Structure 1
Amino acid sequence: MENGLDELIRLASTDLPAHATRKLRNGLTKFAEKVDTARESTDTVKLPKASFDPGDPKTVGRMVALALLAQPRLPLASVPDAYGSGVYAIYYNGDHPFYEAISHTETPIYVGKADPETPEANTPREQGSKLTSRLKEHAKTIRAADAHAHENHLPDGLFPIRLKDFECRRLVCATNAQLVAERHLISTFWPLWNSETKVCWGMSKHGDSHKTRKNKRSPWHVIHPGKAWAADTTDEKQEDALSPSEIQRRIGELLERTPPRRSHEQLLEEMLVAFRQDDTVALETETEELKPPVNFRGPGPEDDGTD
């Protein structure tokens, strides 16, 4: 075996064609993996599955997400003012038929982050009241849909949402920690209103009419009209990104793949599993790209999936 390895090393030092070099490199990689496996199988002292690294971005994301779930729920309609940037989750407790499955559960309908006023902010005061402002912005959007439904007759197939049916959790965290935490929260819950889920995006869209920007009416505003530009159904040039029936179908299909979490204790236990070093615990490997459990189309540039 040593003679064969010596020959491979000798070949690697020669001027081989590109395809031969790639083949040799792949062969050496597989050989090294087999050597590592053989060495571990003969070692009576076992290696842990992973070493806990507080500086690893994925670890930071998990810790911040776990800390968020430890926070109490607050009514979205009356979030107290506070300094700080960070992450948050919004929960639904109403009777809208599209969201019946997640109502009164631990699965948020939306998660997000609020970046600090400056990238160099070190304290909540320096970060500004960005987290509070972000939540109040969402409350304003939902309040507009609430008022529109109260003052107008919604078309068949649409149902009202009420601001009083929403709660939130928020967590002020160190600058930049919100970036990895948001990714982890999205990949854990795949919330219905996050654009990455590709189901009912667009709540945070600061939209306008086709006269200034030719985007389609986002799914959120299709089923929750309230903003003047989105509620204008006479504007024939502004198309719906998805029909209400398609949105409802996507919601149902997604929730079949990712059932709502109903127990706070079980959810915390699920989050803690990621920190275990027991070889008997199998975890899915996180990838750089967020891939939703159902491969829906959208949002594209013409749909404006801004969140």
Structure 2
Amino acid sequence: MNKTYYAVNNWLVDLPSGSIISLISGERKRLGEYQLKLLDVLVTNAGKILTREELTNLVWERRVIGNNSLPNAIHALRTALEDDGKTQKIIKTIPKKGYLLEQAWCRSVERESEEIDLPATLPAAQPEDEVADTAELLPAPAQELIQAKADAIHARAFPHPKAPRFRLPPSLVALLLLIVVVIVSGTAGWQYANSRGSRLVATEQEAGVYSNIRIYEISEANRPTMNKEDFYSKIKDTLYAVNQQIKTQSIDMSVYYQSVDQTLNYTFALKSRCDKKQLVMAIYHWRIDTTQLNNLILRETRRKISEMETCA
């Protein structure tokens, strides 16, 4: 009995086996559960722009995930489908909007189910990154702009062997990147503040509770008190554990958080006498599971603490 399957760039999507199969060579590639689910959602909505939030809701549903889970899954699909992040001929990143699977690369294929039976053994699936190893410091469009600037700087600093060799001093490269970050960050912040029609303020929470931690909530200046987000109560025990650790290492920590719809923007900065570290995270569906939320924050904080230079 024939069954209709979808194919993308001559890769047949076989959901039951959790893999894609080349219609040319017969090669089979095993995908992770959420990578395959993401591909199915993109194929079903081929030609339509899906926002990050829509994809997160459809693929991970109500699961608490890190900021890099979606970009990492998109990168894995591009690699599997013989696409890449520069040309983006199949899966396109639409700046400030989301992602789109080009409909021209999709087609339906009829096959007998026996033709694509699962073989006796399959290569083990590569583990998927459910939580960001390193969280994004800027929105995707800003990162792409910075990457473009960095690529241009790299091209000038490391020319083709036949071209006259010229290198920018590392300090100048760092300065140029810093200028780009400041411009992009300032523009994004100005646009956000104007679109919300209100000034954003940082209000310190629970002052004096912890010896080495200060906590600030980022919110609109005119937001009613009754609408304040009770985030601190969910992570106070985790912050207590962190405070005990950094106190022994003479590290000070500042925490900034802001809730926007279903997303929690969470930033922390660590400072000791000889080093500084900072991490910015966007945590989706953070209200669903308090245990996962605390585990994520504690793990990422301790990871950054372990990267701090030890003062002599």
Per the normalisation by structure 1, the TM-score is 0.19
Point out which structure has higher relative CO (alpha carbons under 8 A, 6+ apart): 1
Higher Cα Rg: structure 1 or 2? 1
* Structure (1/2) with the larger helix percentage: 1
Per the normalisation by structure 2, the TM-score is 0.19
* Structure (1/2) with the larger strand percentage: 2
